Amino acid sequence: MRRFLICLAWFGLLIILAGLPLAYSSSYTLWSTRNLGSGAGFFLTAIIGYIGCLLALVIGFLKKPKFFWIFSILVGLVYLYSFYGFGISFRMQFLGGLIFALIPGIVCIAVGFAIKLNNK
Amino acid sequence: MRKILIFIFVSVILFLFTLSSNINAAGEKSEIQIARDNANIFILTKGLYINSEWDDVILQNGPVCYDLQGNIIGYLFFVVKNKISIGYILIGSSLYHFDVLEAASEEFQNIPSSNEVKAVFANANKYEPKIVYAGYRRYYALYNIGDEKIAINLSSHELVNTNDLITDLVAPNQYRKDSIVYNTGNTTLSTIVSIPVPQECMWDSNLPPEQRNNNNCGPTTGAMIAEYWKYYRNYTYLPGWWADETGLYNTMYCNNWAPFFHGVPPWLFGPGFVNWAEAYGYPNFITDWNINRDFSIITGEINANRPLGVMFSYTSQYTDWHWCAIKGYDNDGIVYFNDPWNYSAGINWNAVKVSSVISRIWR
Residue B9 binned pLDDT confidence (cut-offs 50, 70, 90): low
The pLDDT value recorded for residue B11 is 61
Would you say residue B266 has pLDDT above 50? yes
pLDDT at B187: 45
Domain B192-362 has CATH 3.90.70.10: yes
Q: Which positions in chain A touch B342 (Cβ < 8 Å)?
A: none
The Cα–Cα gap between B325 and B223 comes to 9
Alpha-carbon distances of B20 from A45, B12, B26, B31, rounded to whole Å: 61, 12, 10, 19
Q: What average pLDDT does this structure show over B248-267?
A: 76
Is the pLDDT higher at B157 or at A43?
A: A43
B258 touches chain A (CB under 8 A): yes
Residues of chain B neighbouring A100 (CB-CB closer than 8 A): 260
pLDDT at B289 over 50: yes
How many residues in chain A? 120
Average pLDDT of chain A, as a whole number: 89
Which of B250-254, B293-297, B348-352 tops mean pLDDT? B293-297
pLDDT value for B125:
55
CA B266 remoteness from chain centre: 21
Q: pLDDT of A31-65, one tens digit each?
A: 888 888 898 999 999 999 999 999 988 888 888 88
The rounded mean pLDDT for chain B is 81
pTM, entire model: 0.64
Q: Does A92 touch chain B (CB under 8 A)?
A: no
Cβ atoms of A40 and A96 within 8 Å: the answer is: no
Strands of B121-178 (E only): list them.
130-133, 139-145, 148-153, 159-161
pLDDT of residue B215 exceeding 60, the answer is yes
Measured between CA atoms, the residue of chain A closest to residue B164 is A28
Q: Which residue spans within B11-111 are E strands per DSSP?
A: 58-66, 72-81, 84-92, 100-104
Cα–Cα distance list, B348 to B20, B46, B65, B66, B190 (Å)? 38, 13, 17, 18, 14
Q: Which of A29, A33, A38 would best serve as a mutation to test chain B binding (most B beta carbons within 10 A)?
A: A38
Domain positions in chain A are 2-119
Residues in chain B with CB shorter than 8 Å from the CB of A42 are: 261-262
- Does the CB of A29 have a partner CB in chain B at under 8 Å? yes
Q: What is the pLDDT of residue B104?
A: 83
What amino acid occupies position B195? I
Q: What is the DSSP letter of A85?
A: G
Answer whether B156 touches A (CB < 8 Å). yes
Check CB contact of B257 with chain A, cutoff 8 Å. Answer: yes
Q: Which residue of B has its CA nearest to A35?
A: B215
User: Domain map of chain B by residue range?
Assistant: 29-189, 192-362
Please name which of B215, B313, B323 lies closest in space to residue A90, comparing C-alpha atoms: B215
The per-residue pLDDT for range B26-39, each reduced to its tens digit, is: 446 788 888 998 88
Q: Has residue A106 got a pLDDT over 50? A: yes
Q: Are B144 and B125 in contact (CB under 8 A)?
A: yes
Q: Which residues pair with B144 in a beta bridge?
A: B149
Whether residue A37 lies within 8 A of chain B, CB to CB, comes out as: yes
Q: Pick from B352, B316, B344, B347: which is nearest to B334 by CA?
A: B347
- pLDDT bin (cut points 50, 70, 90) of residue B186 is very low
pLDDT confidence of residue B175? 65
- Whether residue B168 is predicted with pLDDT greater than 80 in this model: the reply is no
